[in-house]
Structure formats: structure tokens, C-alpha cells
Amino acid sequence: MIINWKPNRDSDKSLYDQIYNYIINQISNGDWYIDSRLPSERKLAEAMEVNRSTISNVLDELKSEGVLISRGSKGTFVANNTWSILASTSQPNWKKYLDQGIHKPNQTTIQMINKYEFEDGMIRLGTGEISTDLFPTEYVNEIMSNITLNSLNYEEPLGYKPLREAICKYLSKFDIELKPEQVLIVSGSLQALSLISIGLLQPGSTVFVEKPSYLKSLHIFQSAGMKLKEILMDEDGIDLNDLRKKLNKSGTNMLYTIPTFHNPTGIVMNESKRKQLMEIIKEFQLPVIEDDAYADLWFSKAPPKPLKSMDDSGSVLYTGTLSKSFSPGLRIGWIAGSESVIERLGDIKMQTDYGSSSISQLIAFEWFDKGYHERYQIGLKSSLKSKCKLVLELLSTHFSDIAKWQKPNGGFYIWVTLKKDINMFKLFEDALKSKLLINPGYIYDFNENNSIRLSIAYATGSELEYGIRKLSEIIRKYY
């Protein structure tokens, strides 16, 4: 159990209330499991920098509410995380409604990141977006001035057909052959995951994820009542032995994987592993979500073909997006799979938001159809490649004695693991004070870890130079 948090002494809420809410939150958002043991009162007090008596009082209250349970000398445990118990702490009006919703709030750190990203002067060392100066302004303005809009009505359930056709054509480059009926346009691939979580899985299902995984940072599967189970990774991606072992034991389940330029580690699954994984998938009739957000972004050599290209049993739901290779603000992604599954997901999308922005879909169509996508990737990849080189240089200057990392061959991320354990939430906060926004590794992992996800994509060269040097200085203070 990680305590990457402490109360804010400038808040008008009491320390007691803040700690109470923090614990309720950790339990309800699934970060603290039923039956997991809390650190000792002394350790909690230390981590949160408060008196032990304050901790005592909060824990007593939570025990009396049945949220925590004391098992004598074994310690204090999480008793229950059902919303009913949480909701039973009598609340006025909306507060009650807030507490009882099915969807759980995002982790504190993620909420903080979402907000600080929009604060002036922040150096964003972890942001998974292309920097503004790489934006294809000219191309987009060309597209915009060539579109004549005569109407903008609701689209077909699966999305604008010419765009679906263009995506089929684009995917055939990856040896993925599809009909437009097998493609659903979504508002970013995050929405694809959200639709799958509510449309195909039932509460209690298990979703296997790589450890660490982008999915851990999302909470949508946990909110929908699914359990995430972590599968170990080595430097070629998911550990197949570990997967096989855990598969044998489980009921209904699904695998979520990012085989290419994995978020957050940057790892690429090699070809022979992909083949072996496909065999396991067939053997266990295991449904798989293959998230291929970074497919286009290789530096020198194209990665192996996607799992979907080898999928002759219809086991793979394949998601892609324009967010990483063009623009996240467009909110255009896609999900491809067998027709019946796509039809159902499309039906749910209609119920959820009546389809994605027509204007975004039109722009995306032009983007593919007029060849902008291909042309833009050339320049984008070479910029990313040279920024990656810069970051690697900066890392070896400032981090080689205190951390290790793997050199990426594409995508956005370098996963920097510190050699010594430090309080990562405190580091996150200290970095904020110096106007550095970092993505600490615990967002992507259920366990403590000492990693930081650096992104080569967002910050400018000089921001990276300043930021990485500064970050190393801050970290050294902990040593």
C-alpha cells in the first residue's frame, strides 16, 4: 500500500477530514483492496506528516463505520469497499449523489496532472502529446479552407462511412484487412476502452494488463466493476509464462495489451512473442484488446505487424487513434473487430453520445484521403527521433548514476527507474513547486515503484534541457 499523499495544511478543511476523505477515496477507487493491510499508525503518521493521534481518530471512525476492520496484532485491514457502506455515511443532497455514482473519481495525482497541465509556465515532462511547434498548421488550414460544409447532422451509428473506408485502406498497410462494417469511429481510443468496459464485460470480469500499463491510469474498467490483474513484462513485452499461469486460474476474462511502443515503458513486443501470444489467445479463446496508438511512430525500423494482422479467429479488438500521430484535440479514434461486436459497440456509442463530432470526422477523412497523414509522419518521426536523442543525452548527463532506462525505438516514452526508493508523491509535489510536471510511475502500476514516465513529445528542447537537469537536482536532495 503506497501513501503518496499528505494533507494540505493551507486548506480550509481539517486534517482529520482530509485524511478521512483520502482513505475513503483510496478504497472506493479500488486502489486499496478489500482485505489489504494498512501501514501502521506510526507509518501513516510519518508519511502524511501529521500526529499519530489524528491518524488514530480517523481510523477509529472508519472502523466504527465498518469500512476498516482491526484484526488485533495482525493490524488494520480494509473491510469493504462497496458503495453502499460509503454512501451510508449520511450526506446532504448532492454529496450523497456524488458518493453513490457507479463511476469512481480519478486518482488524486491524475486529477492534479489534468489540472496543472493548464497552468502557465509549467514544464510538462510527462505529457503524451505532440508539442505545439510540431503541429501541422499548414496542412490543417489547407484542409479547413477546402472543406465546404453544407450540413452537419448526426452521423450513421458506426460513423462517417468515407472515413471508415479510409481507415480500412490505412490499416491495410499493417496487413490488417477489414470491411467498413468492422470499423467503429470513436472519440479517441479511450472511448473505445470505455465502450468495451460497459458493452462487453460484466462486473467481476478480469482484465489482464501489462505491469505497468496505461490502463491502470484510466479507472474506467475499475469503475465498471472489473478487476485488473497484472502480468509481468520483460524487455520484449508481456511475460507469456506469467500470462499462461494466471489464465489457468481465471473465469471470464480479457487481455489488454499495447504491443508497440508500450505506454508507459516504450517497449516493443518482438515478432516471435507476438506469434506465441496469438497461439495462447487461440488456445484459451481469450478476447484481446490490442491498443495500437503509437503504430506509426517508429524512428528507424518499422515494428512487427500488429496482432490483429495475425488474427484469424476474430479474437482481437484493435484500437487506433489520430491523437498521437496527428492531434488529440480532434478526438478521433477507431475500433476494429468482428461485425457483431462492432455493431453492439456502435449501438452503445449511439446511446452514450450519438456519435463523434462530424466536423472532426470530416477533417480526419481529408487527412487520410489526401495523403496528409503519410506526408506528416515523415517529418514528425524525424523530429521525435532527434528529440529522443536529446533526452537520452540529457539522461546520461544527469541521471546515469541514479537511474536506469531503456532506449526506445519509437513512440513517446522513456521509462526512467530510480535506483533508490523515494517517496514518489513527495517528488511529484516537489517538482510541481519548481514548475515541473512529471508522471510518476505509480499511476501505471498497482504497486510501489520508483519510475517516472518521461515523454519526448511535448516539452521543447530547451524545456527538456532545463527540466531534466532540475529534476535530477530535486531527486538528489532525497539521497
Ligand X SMILES: Cc1ncc(COP(=O)(O)O)c(C=O)c1O
- What does the binding site for ligand X look like in residue numbers (CB under 6 A)? 128, 188-190, 214, 258, 263, 291, 293, 321, 323, 328, 333, 354
Q: Is the dihedral of CA 333, 339, 341, 344 positive or negative?
A: positive
Taking the C-alpha atoms of residue 27 and residue 21, their distance in angstroms, rounded to an integer, is 10
Nearer to a second copy, 64 or 340 (CB): 340
Taking the complex as a whole, the smallest distance from the CB of residue 349 to a second copy amounts, in Å, to 10
- Taking the complex as a whole, the smallest distance from the CB of residue 163 to ligand X amounts, in Å, to 15
Chosen from ligand X, a second copy, none, partner binding at 351 (C-beta under 5 to 8 Å by type): a second copy
Task: Locate the DSSP E strands across 391-479.
Answer: 403-404, 413-418, 436-437, 439-440, 451-455
Q: How far is the CB of 338 from a second copy (least distance, A)?
A: 6
- Binds 321, which of a second copy, ligand X, none (CB < 5 to 8 A, cut-off by type)? ligand X
CB 333 within 8 A of CB 113: no
Nearer to ligand X by Cβ, of 84 and 118: the residue is 118
Q: Which does 151 bind (CB under 5 to 8 A by kind): a second copy, ligand X, none?
A: a second copy
Comparing every residue's Cβ against ligand X, the nearest one is: 188
Within 10 A of 15 (CB to CB), how many other CB atoms are there? 20
Q: Between 66 and 329, name the residue whose CB sits nearer to ligand X.
A: 329
Q: Binding partner of residue 153 among a second copy, ligand X, none, CB under 5 to 8 Å per kind?
A: a second copy
Cα 188 to Cα 165, 193, 208, 233, 361, distances in angstroms: 18, 9, 22, 26, 11
CB of 97 to ligand X, least distance (A): 21
Q: Which is nearer to a second copy, 232 or 432 (CB)?
A: 432
258 binds, among a second copy, ligand X, none (CB under 5 to 8 A by kind): ligand X
Using CA atoms, how far apart are residues 221 and 225, in angstroms rounded to an integer? 7
Rank residues 268 and 475 by Cβ distance to ligand X and give the closer one.
Answer: 268
CB of residue 88 to ligand X, shortest distance in Å: 34
Q: With CB cut-offs between 5 and 8 Å by kind, which of ligand X, a second copy, none does residue 219 bind?
A: a second copy
Handedness of CA 216, 221, 226, 231 (dihedral sign): negative
Residue 176 CB-half CA count within 13 A = 33
Q: Which does 400 bind (CB under 5 to 8 A by kind): ligand X, a second copy, none?
A: none
Q: What does 199 bind: a second copy, ligand X, none (CB cut-off 5 to 8 Å by kind)?
A: a second copy
Question: Cα(263)–Cα(414) distance, rounded to whole angstroms?
Answer: 9
H or E segment and range at residue 272: helix 271-283
Q: How far is the CB of 190 from ligand X (least distance, A)?
A: 3
The CA distance from 467 to 433, in Å, is 12
Q: Which is nearer to ligand X, 159 or 188 (by Cβ)?
A: 188
Nearer to ligand X, 258 or 288 (CB): 258
Residue 328: CB minimum distance to ligand X, A: 5
Nearer to ligand X, 68 or 238 (CB): 238
Burial 126-151 (b: 16+ CB within 10 A, else e): bbbbbbeebbbeebbeebeeeeeeee
* Strand-pair category, 439-440 with 183-186: unpaired
- What is the C-alpha to C-alpha distance for residues 92 and 78, in angstroms, rounded to an integer? 25
